[in-house]
């Protein structure tokens, strides 16, 4: 039978253990919030900031203490700053949401007055009978810059294709037209038929057809069929070897099937960018493009080279090409990695799609 003293000791130990557990949970939560990459800001019903983590304050160019107790509208440019309090009051009164509970891309304002695009997700919370709101903010500046670079690159490619068509195909077709006109005049004058002009026209038309095929291949390198990617990668390797006078080969498993055209296109462009970077920037003389399926069912693309590379453990320089490859991999949900090879020579660009049909899990061992 427990004595009163034993019961008292038991209750006290239990309370201490509970308090310790709660303190540990609070410390863990605070650590997660303070070390989060995204900005986290909490406000009350009047829009007053009562908490901001380090990432959030840095994102706007402030120290956390400079934001505490201030209206969150100071982080918004006009006219959103003037309209914010009205939106908040309307929501508290009617429940009509403009941003709360709805993720949205907006423009934010830094301390120096400059603006930047952000992704904002706001949720409602209730603590101790009071209502408040938590905003999670992601800075989209790098993403927007990358998107502009991709658009600029696409625009430059369009100009190049237009120039190639004008200087090549259009000129050849014009020459073919002149040759046919000369032949027509000769025949009208009753001169004997000479096949020289027709042979010239034939050659001009064949050259034009070849150039048009090359342009079309540049616009759509992976024709829409499940097995089109391996063939396109082999053609890429052959074209790369001829253009740069290096050894570039592709080794592709024939049973790699990719049903989505967009996915195949992105993988092709990653291989194209990786091999081009290896030669132009890494001064590689040997490039190997590999496409296969891993044991887990993932389609894996790898581009290996013998260029200057970088030391193991060292991060590659983040040029536009690397960022575009990462952007393409993210767009198709692929895992993207780049690392140095042995002895600091060369690099490996590695991209893996999530398996379409993951292998079945082994049956659980019954417990005895």
Q: What is the pTM of this model?
A: 0.57
Specify the pLDDT at position 56.
92
Q: What is the dihedral of CA 263, 265, 268, 270, to 10 degrees?
A: -70
Nearby residues of 236 by Cβ (< 8 Å), 6 or more positions away: 221, 250, 268, 271, 272, 275, 289
- By C-alpha distance, which of 244, 243, 264, 262 is closest to 252? 264
The answer to whether 25-139 and 221-352 have equal CATH topology is no
Task: Give burial (CB, 10 Å; 0-12/13-18/19+) of 309.
Answer: buried
Specify the pLDDT at position 335.
93
* Token pair of 184 as six digits: 């027509």
CB count in 10 Å sphere of residue 151: 10
Specify whether the backbone of 350 is left (phi greater than 0), alpha (psi in -120 to 50) or beta: beta
Q: Taken in order 123, 136, 116, 323, is the CA torsion positive or negative?
A: negative
Which residue ranges of the chain lie beneath pLDDT 50?
359, 366-368
Specify the pLDDT at position 15.
66
* Token pair of 182 as six digits: 């000369």
* Token pair of 358 as six digits: 């993951």
Per-residue pLDDT tens over the stretch 20-58? 666 666 667 676 677 788 999 999 988 899 999 999 999
Nearby residues of 108 by Cβ (< 8 Å), 6 or more positions away: 59, 60, 75, 76, 77, 115, 116, 117, 118, 137
Q: Where are the domains of the chain?
A: 25-139, 144-218, 221-352
CB count in 10 Å sphere of residue 229: 26
Element (H, E) at 35: none
Q: Which CATH architecture fits 221-352?
A: 2-Layer Sandwich (3.30)
User: In whole angstroms, how large is the CA radius of gyration of the chain?
Assistant: 32
Specify the pLDDT at position 223.
63
Q: Which CATH architecture fits 25-139?
A: 2-Layer Sandwich (3.30)
Q: Residue holding tokens 């990432």?
A: 55
Per-residue pLDDT tens over the stretch 217-266? 666 666 655 568 888 899 899 989 988 999 999 999 877 878 788 898 89
Q: Taken in order 207, 211, 216, 218, is the CA torsion positive or negative?
A: positive
What b-and-e string marks burial along 4-13, b requiring 16 or more CB atoms within 10 Å of the CB? eeeeeeeeee
- By C-alpha distance, which of 269, 302, 284, 280 is closest to 346? 284
Specify the pLDDT at position 48.
92
Q: Are 350 and 337 within 8 A, CB to CB? A: yes
Q: Residue holding tokens 């030669």?
A: 279
Q: Are 187 and 193 within 8 A, CB to CB? A: yes
């Amino acid at each position: 039978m427990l004595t009163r003293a034993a019961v008292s000791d038991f209750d006290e130990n239990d309370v201490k253990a509970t308090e310790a557990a709660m303190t540990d949970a609070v410390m863990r939560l605070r650590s997660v919030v303070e070390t989060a990459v995204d900005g986290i800001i909490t406000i009350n019903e009047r829009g007053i900031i009562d908490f901001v983590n380090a990432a959030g304050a840095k994102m706007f160019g402030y120290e956390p203490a400079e934001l505490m107790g201030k209206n969150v509208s100071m982080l918004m440019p006009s006219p959103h700053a003037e309209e914010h309090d009205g939106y908040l009051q309307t929501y508290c009164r009617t429940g009509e949401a403009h941003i709360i509970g709805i993720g949205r891309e907006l423009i934010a304002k830094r301390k120096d007055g400059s603006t930047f695009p952000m992704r904002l997700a706001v949720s409602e919370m209730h603590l101790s009978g009071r209502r408040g709101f938590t905003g999670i903010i992601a800075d989209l500046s790098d993403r927007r810059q990358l998107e502009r670079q991709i658009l600029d690159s696409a625009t430059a490619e369009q100009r190049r294709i237009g120039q190639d068509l004008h200087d090549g195909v259009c000129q050849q077709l014009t020459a073919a037209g002149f040759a046919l006109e000369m032949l027509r005049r000769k025949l009208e004058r009753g001169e004997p038929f000479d096949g020289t002009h027709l042979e010239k026209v034939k050659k001009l038309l064949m050259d034009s057809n070849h150039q048009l095929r090359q342009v079309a291949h540049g616009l759509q390198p992976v024709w829409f069929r499940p097995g089109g990617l391996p063939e396109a990668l082999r053609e890429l390797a052959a074209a790369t070897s001829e253009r740069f006078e290096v050894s570039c080969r592709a080794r592709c498993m024939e049973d790699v099937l990719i049903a989505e055209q967009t996915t195949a296109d992105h993988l092709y462009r990653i291989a194209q960018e990786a091999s081009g970077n290896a030669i132009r920037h890494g001064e590689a003389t040997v490039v190997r493009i590999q496409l296969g399926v891993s044991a887990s069912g993932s389609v894996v693309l790898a581009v290996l080279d013998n260029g200057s590379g970088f030391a193991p453990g060292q991060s590659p320089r983040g040029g536009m090409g690397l960022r575009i490859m990462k952007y393409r991999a993210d767009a198709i949900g692929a895992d993207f990695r780049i690392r140095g090879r042995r002895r600091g020579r060369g690099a490996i660009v590695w991209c893996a799609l999530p398996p379409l049909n993951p292998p079945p899990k082994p049956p659980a061992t019954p417990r005895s």
